[in-house]
Amino acid sequence: MAKIAIKGTIVSDSDKWIYDWFGISATCPLDVHNIINEADGEELEVEINSGGGDVIAGNEIYTALRRYKGNVNIVISGMAASAASYIATARHCEMTPVGIFMIHNASGGASGDYHAMDKESEILQTVNKSIAAAYMEKTRMSQADLLKLMDDESWLTAEEALERGFIDGIIENQEYASETANREVGFFNGKKPIALYNAATVLDRGTIEKTKAMLLSKENITPDGAVTPAPESVLNNKNIKEEVEEMEGTQENISTVEALTAEYPALVQQIKDSAANAENERLKAIDSIAGQVSAEMVNEAKYGANRLTAEALALEAFRRNNVIAKETLNDLKSDIADSGAGNVKPSGNAGFAENADTPDRETKINNLAQKIRERRGK
């Protein structure tokens, strides 16, 4: 049995060596094609643990698995998000019970006037529909329903992914495998159900191109490791060549952030912008759930010493609410017992009869009210 590991960021063939150079786990279509060619019809086992990445590279991997003439079994061992999620739908797929399946809209970038922005929006919507086509084939859900799930950025557990038909089964404990060997795995007995969400480390285009230029010119290497002169198309670019030469001449003198900013203002600004964008997305996500969490917790999550993501905030709010509810109930029980109000006997006209023991009853009720006010003021 041949094995394919789709792990880390999904990238193009031409970018893979840069990710390897940085030590970032990544998978490209060529990795998959090489194993498929060697397998030559042998059964394939594909393990996926990826937060996604390049859509076009993902499409090529998906198509390669779809066209393979032998049996293919896909296992989601951790996460199948973004581009990795539709790769998982290419063939028969099972998922670990603790896995995560996420689908969302395609994203990209554009610059220019409103025509360019409109065109980028049109392209992204087309890409969304092409991705939804893979999900439709697997789940038999409607395009509208799938686009809505993508628009909502849906994070699914193994059971939820199975329920919607994105996967064919959940991996069982092997201790009990013999008991189920003669039956289909999954709640739908192997049948797809009828219709009833950026975890990847993605290098920005500028960083990739600058790194390629620096490595190719300085070390005279190629993606396959062979020593050769750098391509003329790269070194003849005056701006890149001058920037690389400048970096080589000054990098040994840089030891502080101020020095780095002075030498490479554009690079520092790019890093700041990237950090700012990530922070803005974090704050925006927290704002989306702020109405369901106390203002104090929201402020602490946003600006406190231990800042949280929206997901971590929601989990902490849930935990605290459970604790508070239990404490409040216990406090009320204690207040009633301390005040003596529990000993007051009801009557048909309690509280209204002229001959009722008014002072004593009022005293007990006031004691209870005072204790509750004291606890709330803590």
At residue 291, the pLDDT reads: 75
What pLDDT sits at residue 271? Answer: 67
Amino acid 335 reads D
Which pLDDT band holds residue 139 (cuts at 50, 70, 90)? very high
Report the pLDDT value the prediction gives residue 92, as an integer from 0 to 100.
Answer: 96
Residue with tokens 């700041």: 272
pLDDT higher than 70, residue 113: yes
More confident residue, 345 or 271: 271
pTM: 0.53
Give residue 300's identity as a one-letter amino acid code. E
Task: Report the C-alpha gap between 163 and 153 in whole angstroms.
Answer: 17
Of 98-102, 115-119, 137-141, 265-269, the one with minimum mean pLDDT is 265-269
Assign residue 186 a region (left: φ > 0; alpha: ψ between -120 and 50; beta: otherwise): left
311 and 293 in contact (C-beta within 8 Å)? no
pLDDT for the residue numbered 299: 84
Amino acid at residue number 49: N
**pLDDT, tens only, 59-112:** 999 999 999 999 999 999 999 999 999 999 999 999 999 999 999 998 887 788
Q: Which of 57, 63, 160 is nearest to 103 (CA)?
A: 160
Output the pLDDT for position 339: 60
List, for residues 259-306, the tens digit of each pLDDT value.
Answer: 666 766 776 676 666 667 777 787 888 888 777 778 888 888 888 877
143 vs 358: which has the higher pLDDT: 143
Give the residue with greater pLDDT, 227 vs 208. Answer: 208
Q: What mean pLDDT is predicted for residues 305-315?
A: 73
* CB 234, CB 221: distance < 8 Å: no
pLDDT in tens, 1-50: 899 999 999 999 989 988 888 888 999 999 999 999 999 889 999 999 99
- 186 or 219: which leads in pLDDT: 219
**90, 141, 54, 66 alpha-carbon torsion, rounded to 10°:** 20
Strand 2-10 with 26-27, pairing: parallel
Paired sense of beta strands 100-103 and 154-156, if any: antiparallel
Q: What are residue 7's DSSP bridge partners? A: 49
State residue 51 phi and psi, 5-degree precision: -90, 10
The residues, ordered by sequence, that sit 6+ positions from 27 with a Cβ below 8 Å of its Cβ are: 5, 6, 7, 8, 9, 10, 11, 16, 50, 61
- For residue 173, pLDDT over 80 is answered with no
- Residue written as tokens 């004593």? 360
**pLDDT, position 11:** 93
Q: Quote the tokens at residue 358.
A: 């008014």
Which structure tokens are listed for 220? 């005279």
Say how many C-beta atoms besides its own lie within 10 A of residue 111's C-beta.
7
